[in-house]
Structures are given as structure tokens and as C-alpha cells.
Structure 1
Amino acid sequence: MPLEPSSIKSPPLYQKARDVLRLAILRGQLRPGERLAETQLAEQLGISRTPLREAIRQLQAEGLLRQDEGGLAVPALDLAEVELMYECRIALERLAVRRAAERADGESLARMRAALENARAAMQRGDLPELLNVNVDFHREIALAGGNPWTLRLLEQLWSQMVLFRANALSAPEDEEQVLREHEAVLERIAARDPGGAVARIEAHLQGDLVRGRRALARARSETRGHEEVAG
């Protein structure tokens, strides 16, 4: 059957709802640990509960929402667990960046530069979900350039579990700019064929992410206490 241009529809309601909720979670408008009611969400989004439930299902698959005996909620961030993940991530990314500094060719370096350009564009648009994606693209290109598929596989698992924390680490415009500068410094050392320098830069960058994330979580807790005191 030939396809008619008129048959191309706008994104389904569940996709629009998913994108609105994802952005609210990543920007901290829906905070880690916050309980959500389906009826209230459907009313706020102006949709029925059927597309909302599909949006929720997809966000659960991304780890951005969870359902338990207490109902629907944004997952609470366990800082101790995050720090353990970063311990593993730093070890793996040290290996990846060392190998990249030894092995990266012109095409690999070009893809890293393109990822940084995409990050700058996402920052200028204020597109946080895309910024999170392209920042991971930069790290992924480093691992690909290193040529160890096991490093990349293990890092993919870690990155997928860190979305909420990484969003908190980019909770202010100055944090976004700082991360971009740190990425540029890593790329500079890779391009200079300086494995030791590249390792030092990636470790400083990831430790900086931890500091930024802790600071954002502390700020969010302070704001929550302030709201509770006002409400009380």
C-alpha cells in the first residue's frame, strides 16, 4: 500500500507526556523521592490515564520512575551507592582514556570534537536531556577509540544507572559550562598523545561531577526543608 504524506501523525500523547515528565525529573522539578499520583499527573498534562501509563512505563524502563508498594515515585538517590558506581566508573574511564591517548586516530578525534560541538549547541538551546546524551557520547567515543569492547560494555551499564545523578550535576548553567571545559581539557590531552595527562584530566572531571552532584542534592534537600517549614 503506498504511503500518504497525510498519514504521518504528530507524536502520540504518551510520547509527549513522557518527554514533559522526563524533563521535569531531569531539571529537578520532580525531585528524587517525590511521590506522584497518576490522577493528578493526568489532570496536569491534560490527557487520559491510558497514554500516561505508557509514558510512565517507558520512564520506569529508563530508571526515572519506580513503582512500589507505596505507589509511583521519582527514585531517591542513594549518595553512597552513587559514589560506589563512580569508583568503578573512574577506574574504567582511566583505562579508556589512557588507551585512547595511545590509539586515537583522526576520525576518532573528529567524533570527539563533534560531540563537544553538539554539547555546546544543546547548552545554548537549554536542552538538558540532549546535553546529557551528547556528554555520554563524548565519553563513549573515548572508550571506542581505546579499542577495548569490555570497557565500553561495562561503562554503558554504569552510565545508564547515573542519569538522575548526572542531571543533578548539571543543575546550574555554570556547571554545564564547567563540564564542557573539562571535556575540552581531556580531548586536548588525548590529541596530544599524553596518556598520563589524559588520565589526570578525566579523573579530575569525574571527581568534579561528584562534587557538583553532592552540592545540587544538598541544595535540593535544603529547599525541601524550607518548603516543609513554610507549609507547617
Structure 2
Amino acid sequence: MQPSPPHRGSALGDQVADDLRRQIVTRQIEAGSTLVETRLAEIYQVSRGPVRDALRELATEGLVETSGRSVRVLGLTRDDIDELFRLRLAMEQMALTEAFGTRRPELLRLLRASITAMEAAVSAADPAAFTLADLTFHSAFGESSGLRRVQSVWNQYRGSISNLLLVANLDHLDLQPSLRKHQQLLVMIEDGNDSAALAELANHVDASRARVRNHYEDSAPSDPRP
């Protein structure tokens, strides 16, 4: 493990969950590994409470499973990736359709700010910053939709989706094509071409899914899960 020690600020359990999630999704912690609360508490220099909270959060995301005091890493299979991206598309299309109404000005404000952040990340050749701006762009759909339950589910899986995208983006130094796709989607929404925007969103998410799948298939060991 290569943990990032939590800092005192936001909830310690969330910080531990973020770091473990990153290591699981990027396969620094392999599927089939066993996680031990006491050992994790020592590694992260926290009490067992935040560790327990973190493991519970990861279990709800399907990244680990618990049996008594034993916690086993499940990781992500190719089918898991497909499911995550199908869920992502369903949520984004539902939220975007809702935001097309009276909430369009707020939607456009958030999207334009995200595009500015993407442009800066491309100029700096910073895939991590680009990934954050990418997720902020897509999170704007839920934030501006007013759909609380959609936003809640999106937030639950945002961490896993973000890490998957980062894994793929690290292998792509030329982020311009992705930036252009986001810019084109923004123009469609600005012009009120809603049906075209929804269709482009579907193509956009599927291309992202395929890129992440390809990365996993090229670099992953054989799947140890039954």
C-alpha cells in the first residue's frame, strides 16, 4: 500500500475512504486482498472508527465486502465498469433533461466554469486537473437539475468514476480531443439543441467507457473473482 495520510479538516473516514478507493480502482491494492482494521488504523494514524466508516462506505460502492471482521477487496471487473457507466449515463441524461427547463442559466454557468478549468489543465498538460474539471462538468447536470436523489446517487459513485477516468487520462498526454468534445456539448446546450445534446452525451459517455475498458484490458492481471 502507498497511503496518503489524512489531514485534520474534513471527516477522517471520508479521507481514508478516498485514499483506499484510489488504490483499489487503480489496482495498487489488488482484488482478493484482505484489509484489516487495526493495520489500516496504524497506516493512516487514526483510530479504528474512521477506518470502519471508510470500509462501510466502500462496501456500499461494491469495492469491498465484509464478513465478520474480515474485509475482502473486490475491486472492479470489466462488467462493473460497464454497469457504472450505464448508471452514470442514466443519471446524467435524466438530470440534463430536467436542467433544460428553467434551470438552464445555472447549468450554463457551471459548464462554462468547468470548460475554463479544462482549458487551463490542457495548457498545463495536467491530466489530474483535467479529470477533476471533467467530473465537475458532468456533475453540473445534477447540481443544476434540482433532483436530490439523482444527485445523492451521483455523489455516491463519483469517487469511483473519477478514479477510473484518471487511470485512463494518465495515458493520454493529448487532452485536446476530449476538451473539444466537451466544448461541442456546451455549444449544443447553449443553442437549445437539446435532443442533439442528449445524443452527444450518450456517445461521449460510451467513448469514455470504452477507453477505460481498454485500459483495464491492456493492463490488468486476470480477474481473480469467481
Q: TM-score, normalised by structure 2?
A: 0.65
Question: 162, 165, 172: which is aligned to 1:169?
Answer: 165
Task: Kindly report which structure 2 residues correspond to 1:78-227, keeping only aligned pairs within 5 A, or say none.
Answer: 78-101=77-100, 103=102, 105-118=104-117, 128=128, 134-145=133-144, 147=145, 149-150=146-147, 153-154=149-150, 156-158=152-154, 160-161=156-157, 163-171=159-167, 172-173=169-170, 174=172, 177=175, 179-222=178-221
| Structure 2 residue 53 is the aligned partner of structure 1 residue 54 | no
Residue 141 (structure 1) shift? 2.2
- Counterpart residue number, 1:11: 8
Within 5 Å, give how 1:60-71 maps onto structure 2: 60-62=56-58, 63=61, 65-68=64-67, 71=70
TM-score scaled by length of structure 1? 0.64
For residue 4 of structure 2, what is the aligned residue in structure 1?
A: none
Task: Read off the aligned partner of 1:57 and give its amino acid letter.
Answer: D
Match of 2:74 in 1: 75
Structure 1 letter corresponding to 2:79: A
CA positional deviation for 1:203: 0.6
Counterpart residue identity of residue 30, structure 1: I
Cα distance change of structure 1 residues 141 and 224 upon mapping to structure 2, 3 Å threshold: closer
Structure 2: distance between partners of 1:26 and 1:158: 17
Look up the SS of the partner of 1:161 in the other structure.
helix
What secondary structure, in the 3-state scheme, does the structure 2 residue paired with 1:184 have?
helix
Partner of 1:73, secondary structure, is: strand
Specify whether residues 206 and 39 from structure 1 end up closer, same or farther in structure 2 by C-alpha distance, changes over 3 A only: same
- Superposition deviation, residue 159 in structure 1: 5.1
Decide whether the 8 Å contact of 2:35 with 2:71 is kept in 1.
Answer: yes
Aligned residues: 209
Change (3 A) 1:88 1:30: closer
Maintained 8 Å contact 2:21/2:159: no
- Return the offset for 1:201: 1.7
Residues of 1 paired with 2:25 and 2:80: CA distance? Answer: 19
1:13-28 → structure 2 map (5 Å cutoff): 14=12, 18=16, 20-28=19-27
Partner of 2:3: none
- Contact 1:175–1:212 (CA under 8 A) maintained in structure 2: no
Taking a change above 3 Å as real, the CA distance of residues 144 and 169 of structure 1, as seen in their structure-2 partners, is closer
Gaps of 5+ in 2: 1-6
Larger Rg: 1
Would you say the 8 A contact 2:135–2:162 is kept in 1? no
Is this contact kept in 1: 2:14–2:54, CA < 8 A?
A: no
More helix by share: 1
